[in-house]
Structure 1
Amino acid sequence: MNENAFWQLIDDCTPSTPDPDAEQLAMALTNRLSAGPLATVIGFAEQLSWALYRLDRKEYGHDLSSDSFLYTRAAVVAASREAYEAVLRDPQLFTPYAQDLIWAESLLYVPDEAYSRITGEEWDRSTRYSYESYSNTAGWADE
């Protein structure tokens, strides 16, 4: 799955009603991925990890706990490609997510749940980029 396909899937699965914790989005994504080939699930996991990794930078940190920072970054991804790219261009746009504790924790479990539905097994997932908070060492380096 390439980046455009990832964002198109997010867009296609975004509910038309407010979904503050991205629960409906996560459910729709899981259902869609579960119906497709395993390669699509793996590709989604890679793209999600990459998107979260790119937001793992000190200019977004806002003194959040590790988990809060991760869930808040997930909320930016869940918001849309446009919102995500705007935050990448202007770190100040991350502030409302952090201050209002807008989280999308459920988005993190989508690939694992879809994998489990397809294979009947738990996924010991490893992706090229870690989405865990503070794993992007270049994003936290002093310049």
Structure 2
Amino acid sequence: MDDETFWDVIEDCRRATPDPDERLEWLCERLQARSGNELLRFQEGLDRVLAPTLTWDLWGAADRIMGWCSDDTFFYFRLWLVGLGRDAFDRAVRDPDSLADVPGVRRLAGRPPQDREDEEVLEWEELDYVAVRAWEHVTGRTEEDFYDALESLVGGDADLTDPAGERWDARDDEQSHRRLPRLSVLFPLIQVS
């Protein structure tokens, strides 16, 4: 699946419903109409479009917005970026500080992470499993079979590399204000006494 087709599916999904759980069901139903090979290609497309999001600057943005960011949390945040659609996704890849314009990010501004509802967390982990779910339905085969077939198709796990760019600490106000000026204003560091 080429990038245009991948993004067309994601954009159709975004238009169908704003709710992430409903989007996931919509996406799974649409993918179940495709062949097993197309499902592998969807996952390959997802992995490919995620590649440029593996940067220290985006990790810093996620850390600043969410108040912390582990390896897993950053991966789920990157999947959430895909759910924003191609335009917002591309802007965030070019300029992570552009996330300050995203309504879901702005709604979190000034609120400590512990005061946020679960549905406000900026992640979409389940997107990484939608092709597997559809594959199991379409082929009658297992999740392990899916990943074996995917590895045969594309090779090893592309996400096992370090983030690109210079590593920096989003909790260092000076660095953060220099690299992410708008997000740093929206998400000031909370002083712990």
1:123 Cα deviation from its structure 2 partner: 2.9
Q: Is the 8 A contact 1:71 1:105 kept in 2?
A: yes
Q: Is the 8 A contact 2:58 2:93 kept in 1?
A: no
Quote the residue 2:139 is aligned against.
Answer: 119
After superposition, the CA RMSD in angstroms is: 2.5
Residues matched between the structures, number: 138
Quote the residue 1:53 is aligned against.
Answer: 51
- Stretches of structure 1 lacking an aligned partner (at least 5 in a row): none
Quote the residue 2:6 is aligned against.
Answer: 6
Structure 2: how far apart are the matches of 1:48 and 1:113?
15
**Residues 1:35 and 1:105: Cα distance change in structure 2 (over 3 Å):** same
Quote the residue 2:71 is aligned against.
Answer: 66
Q: Is the 8 A contact 1:49 1:129 kept in 2?
A: no
1:130 Cα deviation from its structure 2 partner: 3.6
Structure 1: how far apart are the matches of 2:37 and 2:48?
16
Deviations 1:63-82 (A, max 9, x none): 41011101111010011011
| One-letter amino acid of the structure 2 residue matched with residue 40 of structure 1 | E
Quote the residue 1:91 is aligned against.
Answer: 96
Deviations 1:18-48 (A, max 9, x none): 32xx222221111111111112111110010
Quick one: percent identity of the two aligned structures? 26
- Stretches of structure 2 lacking an aligned partner (at least 5 in a row): 64-68, 110-119, 168-193
Given candidates 161, 174, 184, the residue that maps to 1:136 is 161
- Taking the TM superposition and a 5 Å limit, the aligned residue runs for 1:28-47 are 28-47=26-45
Quote the residue 1:103 is aligned against.
Answer: 123
1:23 to 2:24 alignment: no
Structure 1: how far apart are the matches of 2:156 and 2:57?
19
Structure 2: how far apart are the matches of 1:74 and 1:138?
15
Structure 1: how far apart are the matches of 2:84 and 2:75?
14
Given candidates 55, 61, 80, the residue that maps to 2:85 is 80
Structure 1: how far apart are the matches of 2:17 and 2:121?
20
Structure of larger gyration radius: 2
| One-letter amino acid of the structure 2 residue matched with residue 32 of structure 1 | R
